[in-house]
């Protein structure tokens, strides 16, 4: 087991929106509709400016950026009822339930500290089973004189937990939150919610890609025990569509024939899942079901501008299958997306991912998904039409 490489902590203080809950997805949908009324189009470019801000600051940023003909208070008054009606749609981020259950099961005290008003926080967590009981302390932005990046919210949480600030670990997705945690004299793990911006999070003690990558033992907390032979079982999720031509580099540059899927129509699904390497089963409508390892993300080595899905079917095919219906059941996670110093090291890592996935998919916990109706139905429907 890894020895703690950081300072030991005895409690955890978590941010809510963007750290535990995928609030950004719902906020983006609401802003899209709202701005449409003014003939404007929400393109997410201001996501950076509103993450971690108080509601009023976030409203001010949007009103100013888009030149809206209304005041900040008016904007919030119109937006709040819509947002309240959508609270039930906000999903936990991958790894959130796992982390909360783990810490709670080991008796680690937890607090929620968010710039949102207290009532708003309680409404949001009421839709998630057990969450209310996980937190012995909740501090909202309306309970302190200044929200993050002021340290006050975290200091108040530590005080109510009856802990020294130096024994608290903060988990945050925003730069104001990281700034506040460090100013409070706490250890801070950043899980950036905006892609390709990790360089802005240098004040944090550690920056991780997603909650799936948190190693509590680094902070003297109990380690997760759910990794199996280098893989982490996840709730199965599904994605499919016709195979498209990718960047042409899979076979040419890497010697690895990936079967690319269009990301069209999958935007919200892709935004729910952190970039990284996953594995599972792939069904090709005319051929059968195969083992599969895949990457989701921006591929830092090639610096993609869009998040892509690049599955690699672990089978020797004699010809291309562009246009064929490909269905994927993703059942486990291997590692976060990382940049590599050289093409050789990238290829070496991808080959290692393949070996890990091939071995893991023979384990009952993963092999049982080979018969998933989603994969099988694609085969049947094709045969019925031929």
- Show which residues are catalytic: 15, 17, 310
- The structure tokens listed for 39 are 């003939």
Please give the C-alpha separations between residue 240 and each of 80, 104, 323, in angstroms, as whole numbers.
35, 36, 12
- DSSP at 21: B
**Helix residue spans in the chain (DSSP H):** 23-37, 47-50, 55-66, 72-86, 96-105, 118-126, 131-134, 152-161, 175-183, 249-252, 267-272, 343-360, 364-367, 373-385
- The structure tokens listed for 139 are 């501090």
Map residue 266 onto helix, strand or coil.
coil
Determine the Cα–Cα distance for residues 299 and 296; give it in Å rounded to an integer: 8
Instruction: Determine what percent of the chain falls in helix, strand and coil, rounding each to the nearest 5.
Output: 40, 20, 40
């Amino acid at each position: 087991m890894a020895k703690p490489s950081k300072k030991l902590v005895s409690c955890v203080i978590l941010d809510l929106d963007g750290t535990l809950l995928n609030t950004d997805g719902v906020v983006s949908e609401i802003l899209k509709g709202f701005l449409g009324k003014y003939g404007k189009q929400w393109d997410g470019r201001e996501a950076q400016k509103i993450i971690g801000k108080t509601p009023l600051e976030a409203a001010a940023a949007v009103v100013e950026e888009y030149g809206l003909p209304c005041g900040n208070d008016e904007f919030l008054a119109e937006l709040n009822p819509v947002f309240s009606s959508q609270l039930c749609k906000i999903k936990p981020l991958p790894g959130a339930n796992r982390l909360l259950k783990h810490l709670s099961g080991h008796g680690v005290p937890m607090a929620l500290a968010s710039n949102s008003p207290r009532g708003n926080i309680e409404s949001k967590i009421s839709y998630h089973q057990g969450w209310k009981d996980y937190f012995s302390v909740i501090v909202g932005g309306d309970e302190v004189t200044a929200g993050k990046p002021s340290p006050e919210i975290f200091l108040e949480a530590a005080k109510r937990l009856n802990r020294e600030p130096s024994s608290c670990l903060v988990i945050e997705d925003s730069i104001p939150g990281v700034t506040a945690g460090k100013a409070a004299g706490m250890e801070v793990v950043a899980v950036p919610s905006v892609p390709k911006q990790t360089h802005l999070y240098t004040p944090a003690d550690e920056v991780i890609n997603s909650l799936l990558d948190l190693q509590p033992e680094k902070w003297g907390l109990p380690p997760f025990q759910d990794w199996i032979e280098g893989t982490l079982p996840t709730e199965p999720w599904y994605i499919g569509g016709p195979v498209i031509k990718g960047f042409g580099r899979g076979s040419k540059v890497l010697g690895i024939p990936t079967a690319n899927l269009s990301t069209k129509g999958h935007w919200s699904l892709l935004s729910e899942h952190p970039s990284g390497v996953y594995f599972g089963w792939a069904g090709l409508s005319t051929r059968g079901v195969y083992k599969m390892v895949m990457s989701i993300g921006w591929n830092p080595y090639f610096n993609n501008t869009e998040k892509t899905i690049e599955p690699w079917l672990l089978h020797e095919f004699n010809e291309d299958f562009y246009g064929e219906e490909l269905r994927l059941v993703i059942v486990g996670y291997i590692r976060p997306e990382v940049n590599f110093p050289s093409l050789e090291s990238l290829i070496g890592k991808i080959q290692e991912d393949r070996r890990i996935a091939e071995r893991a998919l023979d384990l009952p916990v993963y092999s049982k998904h080979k018969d998933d109706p989603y994969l099988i139905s694609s085969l049947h429907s094709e045969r019925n039409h031929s």
